[in-house]
Homo-oligomer: A and B are copies of this chain.
Amino acid sequence: MTQDFYLYNTLTRTKEKFEPINPPNVGLYVCGPTVYGDPHLGHARPAVTFDLLFRYLKHLGYKVRYVRNITDVGHLEDELADEGEDKIQKRARIEKLEPMEVVQHYTNRYHHFMDLLNVLPPSIEPHASGHIIEQQQMVKDIIDKGFAYEINGSVYFDLQKYNSRYGYGTLSGRVMDEMISNTRELEGGDEKRFPLDFALWKKADATHIMRWPSAWGEGYPGWHVECSVMGMKYLGSCYDIHGGGMDLIFPHHECEIAQSTAVTGKPHVRFWIHNNMVTINGQKMSKSKNNFITLEDIFTGQNELLEKAFSPMTVRFYMLQAHYAGTLDFSNDALKAAEQGLARLRKGMQNLEKIKSSEDSTVNVKVLEKKAYDAMNDDMNSPVILAHLFEGTRMINAIQDGHERISRKDLRQLRNFMHAFSYDILGLKPEQEQVSGDEGRSGELIGLILQLRQEAKERKDFATADRIRSGLAALGVKVKDTKDGYEWEIG
């Protein structure tokens, strides 16, 4: 059924046919969160994007080893200058906790919210702080290869030397000379031979808590080293796919390529895939603009930008409505629209279970299924897939209304197709089906009882009407008579 799967490779700026290096195995590495704050939309988008890729690769029958890291050390406030306080240490200082308590708390929160979004756990979730020795080893290797230098207990990557040998900036499309002229005077640049050189290992000053002994004295790894190290440790020196947010292309992924290439002499990744950013009402999300929305805000409705709470599956649906490579503007209205779209799809999925087959078909399931696979194979075009799923729900409704007919074989195929795409690939699970089903049922049962009470009143059977009211009260349902009829509430 499936054909060639094409993915847009940031490195080559073309859609390329995906073929694993070592089929049926696929190695996938994705940059995970720096765990110093509550998960927000900026965490959800890469998680959902690469969950879609992970799910589809598995659907295609590959054996995927998906590595998504936890950054718990080395990510400094000023990423470009390699200066400032460690983000986690800063949070620990503010909250009066040991840094690893901060890491544990926000890692647990991240897992919780990813679970709610139906994001599958990766095969391995390595921590940067859990691979210090491996990072030190890579730093040594880079020094041995002549692409790094030690100064005052810190080690920096020698970017000019690397650039002259391998060329730097291919992924981001930047040219060294332009970068230099655009570089502001960087703080702490004194130590660096060249302003764009980046830290592989930083000397820990007296106030730094997260520190380890090394050949260069006590210190901690630079931010970029961890991903080179953990990707290659678990997926080999050259693996299939590396993903992450577009904001990571420069400098993080560019530096990662430089580090790995410096050691092995060749690039370590075949496909670089990047999701685009989330904006809020057209603006970049930032704490200073006070338009910063956490996932908890959305799921509880506790944010002034939101009218009400939206469910995790609504958020997932909303993200899938845009192609991962386009920006995604977040707003209360966009979520309301996504909620309606999801409800329509779910209604279709429910009707799918009810429709009956006929002797023959007037619908073409095969073509519909092919179009959905074509969209998925065209760089994971999830909005187009959703359009085809809606075509599927229209087909289902037309069959239910008797305007179309479907054969037994086609109905089986339609069910397989709708389930595979809605549930397995897009990951839109039926949400708290039990509870809402039951809540809905209680409400409708109460409605039925109150109609009976109304009828009793109309025939002047007040004894029955009162009995119904007290019967409901015993079950916690309060009934209030109004001039238009009645209202009720549970509580």
Contact = CB atoms under 8 A, between A and B. Distances in A.
Interface of A: 65, 98, 100-101, 103-105, 108, 111, 121-127, 129-134, 136-137, 212-213, 234, 434-435, 438-439, 441-442, 444-446, 448-449, 451-452, 455, 464, 468, 471-472, 475-477, 490
28 contacts: A65-B101, A100-B124, A101-B124, A104-B123, A104-B124, A104-B125, A111-B111, A127-B130, A129-B130, A130-B130, A130-B131, A132-B132, A132-B133, A133-B133, A134-B212, A434-B435, A438-B442, A441-B442, A441-B476, A441-B490, A442-B445, A444-B475, A445-B446, A445-B449, A448-B471, A449-B449, A449-B452, A452-B464
Looking at A132, A212, A445, A477, the one whose CB has the most chain B CB atoms below 10 A away is A445
The copy count of this chain in the complex is 2
Nearest to A444: B475
Contacts of A477: 445
Contact of A464 (B127, B449, B455, B475): B455
A464 B451 CA distance: 11
Nearest to A212: B133
A445 B475 contact: yes
Contact of A104 (B122, B441, B452, B455): B122
Contacts of A455: 464
Contacts of A121: 104, 108
B127 A127 contact: yes
Give the 8 A-B residue pairs with the shortest CB-CB distance, closest first: A130-B130, A445-B445, A438-B438, A100-B124, A448-B471, A101-B123, A133-B133, A104-B124
A448 B464 contact: no
A448 B435 contact: no
Contacts of A464: 452, 455
Contacts of A441: 442, 475-476, 490
Residue in A127, A452, A464, A477 whose Cβ sees the most chain B Cβ within 10 Å: A452
B448 A475 contact: yes
A471 to B, nearest CB: 5
Contacts of A472: 448
B476 A452 contact: no
A213 B435 contact: no
Given A134-B212, A444-B475, 7 more contacts: A98-B234, A100-B234, A104-B122, A130-B131, A132-B133, A448-B449, A448-B475
Given A448-B449, A468-B452, A475-B448, A213 B137 contact: yes
A134 B131 CA distance: 11
A51 to B, nearest CB: 15
A111 B105 CA distance: 14
Nearest to A103: B124
Nearest to A107: B125
A415 to B, nearest CB: 19
A475 B451 CA distance: 15
A445 B104 CA distance: 45
Contacts of A451: 471
A468 B456 CA distance: 13
A475 B111 CA distance: 37
A468 B442 contact: no
A234 B209 CA distance: 12
A126 B108 contact: no
